[in-house]
Amino acid sequence: MPSVTLPSAVVNYSEQGQGAPILLLHANPGERRDFAAVMEPLTRLGRVIALDWPGFGQSPPMVAGQWVTVEDFYRVLEEFVATLGLRDLVLVGNSLGGNAAVKLAARHPHWVRGLVLVAPGGFTPRNWLTQGFCRLQGSALSLSPYRFARFYIKRKTAVSSAMLARAHDEQSAAEPVALGRALWRSFGQPENDLTEIAPKVRAPCLLVFGAEDPVIRAQLDGERALQLLPHAERVILPCGHVAFAELPEPFLQAVYGFMAGLNPPSRLQNENVTIGDLDSEVS
């Protein structure tokens, strides 16, 4: 499996297919294999890449480990896309991955051709209840990864069952649990809120929500996302938090239809951008 050494982390990833890139970004906790049911079918649309965020799957943790924030993970995404030279990119992001995808599309609009956001984080209203839940999940009193996954996965498939097994085993080890708690503490901070940045996204966006998702709710979070993203459409499927694993066929149908309407790859596809150029990009 290929890996890339970035200024902030070492990232392992897998890829299949050819053409314009489609980058898959998993949740907290999670890993690239969460997309196993849809990765090969998506190759009919382009080159499909799935990464393991630092500290998950086969990617080693960041040096700052338990103190990592959502902005650290965004920076990893930014560096990954620049280092691999990915342009005319379609981002498929779940939860934490969706949050990072929105930020990339807003800050580097000429890199991103489209967004598929699956229960994206950052659209939940910040109030005493949501802040309290983030503090709870960021503490020693948090639900275990397995108990939490059982709470939000509503449809059993081979892939969602494998996700539950990983949550029970490797994701419940001390280091992943500490990382997950650090991210939950960050979820409660203003840096996770997409209210200000989402309206800057120029790319078309497909929002995919699960009608039975108890964490990122289709009607509350989904309505806010639909209002804040300028070029968004929404699909609500009868599942929980991970539609691509719980209902892969309806998910793929929605994605195929959405991507059929995207503009063809632009002339910027072969543009070379280096890590040193990131700070000079136009927001």
Mean pLDDT value of segment 240-268: 87
pLDDT tens track for 4-26: 999 999 999 999 999 999 999 99
Task: DSSP letter for 80, please.
Answer: H
pLDDT for the residue numbered 51: 98
pLDDT recorded at residue 281 = 42
**Residue 83 pLDDT exceeds 60:** yes
Mean pLDDT on 236-246: 98
Q: Say yes or no to pLDDT of 267 above 70.
A: no
The two tokens of residue 172 are 């419940």
The pLDDT tens digits for 142-152 are 999 999 999 99
| pLDDT tens figures, 215-234 | 999 999 999 999 999 999 99
CA nearest 222: which of 233, 231, 41? 233
Q: Does 272 have pLDDT greater than 60?
A: no
pLDDT > 90 fraction of the chain, expressed in percent and rounded:
84
CA distances (Å), origin 222, targets 24, 102, 124, 138, 201? 20, 14, 9, 24, 16
**By percentage, how much of the chain surpasses pLDDT 70?**
92
For the chain, the first-to-last Cα distance in angstroms comes to 33
pLDDT at position 129, please? 86
Q: How confident is the model over 136-159, as a mean pLDDT?
A: 95
Helical (H) or strand (E) element with 72: helix 70-84
CATH code of 3-264, in short, is 3.40.50.1820
**Is pLDDT of 29 > 90?**
yes
Cβ 55 vs Cβ 61: under 8 Å: yes
Query: Is the pLDDT assigned to residue 157 strictly greater than 70?
Result: yes
The answer to whether 25 and 97 are in contact (CB under 8 A) is yes
Q: Is pLDDT at 279 greater than 50 in this prediction?
A: no
Q: How sure is the predictor about 274, in pLDDT bands with cuts at 50, 70 and 90? A: very low
pTM for the model: 0.92
Give the C-alpha separation, 158 to 246, whole Å. 9
Residue 265: what pLDDT?
47
Q: What Rg, from alpha-carbon coordinates, does the chain have?
A: 17
Q: pLDDT at residue 212 above 60? A: yes
Amino acid at 78: E
Domain residue extents for the chain: 3-264
Tokens coding 98 = 């969706």
Q: Strand 112-118 and strand 205-210: pairing?
A: parallel
Tokens 């599942």, residue?
239
Q: Give 91's DSSP letter.
A: E
- Has residue 57 got a pLDDT over 70? yes
Residue 277 has pLDDT above 80, yes or no: no
3-class SS string, 23-64: EEECCCCCCHHHHHHHHHHHCCCCEEEEECCCCCCCCCCCCC
